[in-house]
């Protein structure tokens, strides 16, 4: 789990290099939305929220594509 607070987008982009989709059979890299408010999986397409700069990588918090 990521507990640190990331206030600037540079940190968020560094985190992007080390985190992957939490879905067990996916585990693909995530891409940051243009407004930096969410992360989208390049594999399954799930969209994870970024709350106060902290990526919330929980499948129950994720939105499925084409909601």
Q: CB of 56: closest distance to Zn ion in angstroms?
A: 14
Q: Is 62 in the site for Zn ion (CB under 5 A)?
A: no
Tell me: does residue 16 bind Zn ion (CB under 5 A).
no
Nearer to Zn ion, 5 or 42 (CB): 42
Size of the site for Zn ion (CB under 5 A): 6
Q: Does 21 bind Zn ion (CB under 5 A)?
A: yes
- Taking contact as CB under 5 A, which single stretch among the options 6-14, 19-27, 32-40, 55-63 is the one that binds Zn ion? 19-27
Distance CA 46, CA 63 (A): 6
Contact 40, 30 (CB under 8 A): yes
| Per-residue burial over 37-55, b = 16 or more CB atoms within 10 Å of its CB, e = otherwise | ebbbbeebebbbebeeebb
């Amino acid at each position: 789990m990521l507990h640190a607070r990331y206030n600037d987008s540079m940190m968020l982009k560094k985190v992007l290099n080390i985190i992957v989709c939490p879905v067990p059979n996916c585990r693909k890299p995530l891409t940051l939305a243009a407004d930096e408010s969410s992360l989208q999986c390049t594999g399954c397409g799930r969209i994870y929220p970024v709350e106060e700069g902290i990526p919330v990588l929980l499948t129950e918090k994720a939105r499925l594509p084409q909601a």
